[in-house]
């Protein structure tokens, strides 16, 4: 068996692989806590576990879930290393100088040309492997820290540039000019507002004056034909009535008060007839004419008609009272019915429960 024999190399490699697998199995029997990893390694494992769990959980779950539940999540996702070999593999992928290097065997110089080609190939392979190792050597956390530092430096530079630009651009004279312009604009806007308000007040006053003149003209334009007066009503506020006018007013649906007014007027007329019959006759004529004119406006001064109206109103009141009383009685009856039905249902339920209990007791032989 020579050194160049490929079968010997394969056998040698298989033996190494079998030994390695045995060593790995034996090392897996030792717990990770008692293996003797350094504090840096343990911290890296802890950070890796936290990172994996944070990727799986939402912001709300991070706050709400307890540590024991997070630990379960880490185990199910694969954030916790259970064997020593897993930790070694992780560290081998991330740390420097942990990956096994290829051994350089001495080669016989029989063919110088072939050997030179082989040397070139080996050198290229070694360069590629070195570059890969360098890329893998930087841990993910270290890369993140580096990126954060770079960002912070960039932010500092940008802030410094911004502040310098502001200082250069903002001059005290320019600021004063801006302030003066702003004050002038505000003053102009205030002046315009005052002018508008004064114009609106004038317009309102002119409008009120015009309305008053129109009302006066309408009052003056009263046309009278014989005893009938046709009055054009002006649009505006309602006029307040005096006490004498209120006494003479016979409108509305308060038949009692209207009847009292009519009776009082009749008493006055009777007294006048006894003392001054002429005046009484004139007053009666005025009343008739006024009645004829104001009938269209809904004047009610006929005593008989008012009595009939009063009776009708009282009947309606009584009827409504009766209807309301019937309604209340109906509501009470319905309430009583519902209560009775409820009580019956409750009693049925109680009886059913009792029957079921008796059945169960009979089945068990407690009751014959």
Contacts of 73 (CB under 8 A, 6+ apart): 53, 56, 57, 65, 79
Classify residue 51: in a domain, yes or no: yes
User: In Å, how far from its chain's centre is CA 114?
Assistant: 80
Cβ atoms of residues 303 and 263 within 8 Å = yes
Read off the tokens for 144. 């993140």
| Cα R_g (the chain), whole angstroms | 57
Residue 111 is assigned to a structural domain of this protein = no
Are 64 and 28 contained in the same domain? yes
Span 296-311, average pLDDT: 71
| Mean pLDDT of the region 273-298 | 72
- Is the C-alpha dihedral spanning 270, 276, 277, 282 positive or negative? negative
Last residue in a domain, options 244, 273, 301: 301
> Is residue 19 within 8 Å of residue 68, measured between CB atoms?
no
CA atoms of 25 and 92, how far apart (whole Å): 18
Residue where a domain stops, chosen among 58, 91, 124: 91
Final residue belonging to a domain, choices 91, 121, 152: 91
Q: Are residues 33 and 78 in the same domain?
A: yes
Inside any domain, residue 58:
yes
**Domain boundaries, position 349:** 312-367
**Co-location of 329 and 287 in the same domain:** no
Q: Are 56 and 73 in contact (CB under 8 A)?
A: yes
pTM of whole model > 0.85? no
Do 337 and 296 fall into the same domain?
A: no
Q: Which of 23-27, 168-172, 313-317, 326-330 has the weakest average pLDDT?
A: 168-172
Structural domains in the chain (count): 3
Residue 182 lies in a domain: no
Residues 36-84 have pLDDT tens digits of 888 888 888 888 888 888 888 888 888 888 888 888 888 888 888 878 8
Do 271 and 332 lie in a common domain?
no
Do 297 and 348 sit in the same domain of this protein? no
Which pLDDT tens digit goes with each residue over 89-147? 877 776 544 444 454 544 444 444 445 556 666 666 766 666 555 555 445 566 667 77
């Amino acid at each position: 068996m020579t050194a160049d024999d490929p079968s010997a190399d394969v056998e040698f490699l298989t033996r190494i692989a079998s030994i390695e697998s045995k060593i790995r199995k034996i090392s897996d029997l030792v717990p990770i806590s008692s293996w003797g990893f350094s504090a840096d390694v343990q911290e890296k494992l802890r950070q890796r576990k936290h990172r994996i769990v944070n990727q799986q959980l939402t912001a709300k779950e991070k706050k709400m879930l307890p540590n024991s539940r997070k630990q379960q999540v880490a185990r199910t996702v694969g954030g916790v290393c259970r064997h020593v070999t897993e930790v070694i593999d992780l560290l081998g992928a991330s740390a420097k100088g942990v990956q096994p290097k290829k051994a350089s065997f001495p080669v016989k110089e029989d063919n110088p040309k072939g050997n030179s080609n082989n040397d070139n190939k080996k050198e290229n392979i070694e360069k590629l492997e070195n570059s890969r190792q360098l890329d893998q050597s930087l841990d993910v956390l270290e890369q993140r820290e580096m990126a954060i530092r770079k960002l912070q430096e960039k932010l500092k530079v940008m802030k410094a540039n911004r502040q310098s630009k502001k200082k250069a651009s903002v001059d005290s004279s320019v600021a004063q000019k801006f302030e003066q312009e702003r004050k002038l604009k505000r003053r102009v806007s205030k002046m315009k507002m005052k002018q508008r308000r004064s114009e609106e007040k004038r317009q309102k006053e002119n409008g009120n004056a015009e309305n008053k003149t129109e009302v006066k003209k309408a009052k003056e334009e009263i046309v009278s034909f014989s005893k009938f007066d046709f009055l054009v009503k002006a649009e505006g506020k309602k006029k307040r009535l005096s006490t004498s006018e209120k006494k003479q007013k016979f409108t509305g649906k308060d038949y009692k008060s209207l009847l009292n007014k009519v009776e009082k007027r009749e008493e006055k007329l009777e007294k006048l007839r006894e003392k001054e019959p002429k005046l009484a006759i004139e007053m009666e004529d005025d009343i008739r004419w006024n009645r004829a004119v104001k009938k269209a406006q809904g004047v009610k001064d006929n005593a008989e008609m008012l009595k009939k109206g009063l009776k009708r109103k009282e009947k309606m009141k009584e009827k409504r009272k009766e209807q309301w009383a019937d309604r209340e009685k109906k509501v009470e009856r319905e309430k009583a019915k519902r209560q009775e039905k409820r009580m019956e249902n409750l009693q049925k339920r109680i009886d059913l429960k009792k029957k079921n209990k008796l059945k169960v007791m009979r089945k068990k032989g407690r009751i014959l």
